[in-house]
Amino acid sequence: MNQQFLLHKDTAVYYTSPLFDTYSVPHAFFTRHGGVSASPFDTLNFAVGTGEKRDDAQSVLLNHRIAASVFGLDETSVCRTYQTHSTTVLLADENDRGRGTVLPPYDCDVDGLVTVCEELILSVRSADCVPILLYDVKNDICGAVHSGWRGTQGNISGVAIEKMCALGSDKKDIIAAIGPCAGVCCYEVGAELYHIFTEINKDYSKYFVPKENGKYFLDLTGLNTAVLINNGIDDNRISACNICTCCNTKDFFSHRVMGKERGTMASFIMNRRKAK
């Protein structure tokens, strides 16, 4: 489904999926605007970083508070992944409220989360990799995954969908939103990735655009859309942002363009509040 994502300017600046908005699902793909961090993490940064320069933890915490306020909550309601390009998806519950913000982070690889809890915000982080949000509109079960090429190869979105089904979801009730990530205009990869993915499914070749130097441009959004469809999600229930993080570093952090000295974006989702 190709509908332009909508830009919102609260304190934090973020995009939403019109498909998710139709179902009133609380979610946000944050840009780099509206936070408190100083350069090169300016301003809405969600990780202290791995380069020589580090952002201070207090600013990162404040940025989580600003972002969570979009949902009328604060950082104590956020549960963050602990991302290592794994395919591990965990069920987050009340004990994970504040995980990675006011509580210690997970002590194992976690690149995806699902939950049935109310007012528990799931957070995945990215800076070119693909954030994917999932929602069961019938049973109110939400999921979030970090799907770079390794996660895509390992079918992490499929792992999350199976976790949701184990909680009672039917695939026909699940909608998906693919956030801002490196676009096919910029995401150059080697021939080895072409071979890895076409061995999984020969139809995936169409997401690789050959370059003259023997390398390829990979369409991560198209590939992840195909993976979601192959996991049983209806084409009409998948929405994609199609904004390239590499081309738009004024608005997004990009690992490809900025290297390690940069901030990291977050994408949030939580379950709809039940009428009281």
Binding site for Zn ion (CB under 5 A): 183, 185-186, 244, 246-247
What are the E-state strand segments in the chain?
6-9, 13-16, 27-30, 78-80, 89-91, 112-115, 121-126, 130-136, 141-147, 174-178, 188-189, 208-210, 216-218, 238-240, 265-269
- Pick 194 or 217: Cβ nearer Zn ion: 217
- Pick 179 or 183: Cβ nearer Zn ion: 183
**Minimum separation from the CB atom of position 31 to Zn ion (A):** 15
- Pick 127 or 244: Cβ nearer Zn ion: 244
- Pick 178 or 244: Cβ nearer Zn ion: 244
Q: Which two tokens stand for residue 176?
A: 């998906």
**Minimum separation from the CB atom of position 243 to Zn ion (A):** 9
Q: 130: helix, coil or strand?
A: strand
**Minimum separation from the CB atom of position 90 to Zn ion (A):** 32
**Minimum separation from the CB atom of position 186 to Zn ion (A):** 3
The DSSP symbol for 244 reads B
Task: Please report where in the chains the tokens 């080697």 appear, as a residue.
Answer: 190
Q: Which two tokens stand for residue 128?
A: 């070119």
**Minimum separation from the CB atom of position 22 to Zn ion (A):** 28
Distances (CA, A) of 6 to 11, 164, 179: 16, 27, 12
- Pick 72 or 210: Cβ nearer Zn ion: 210
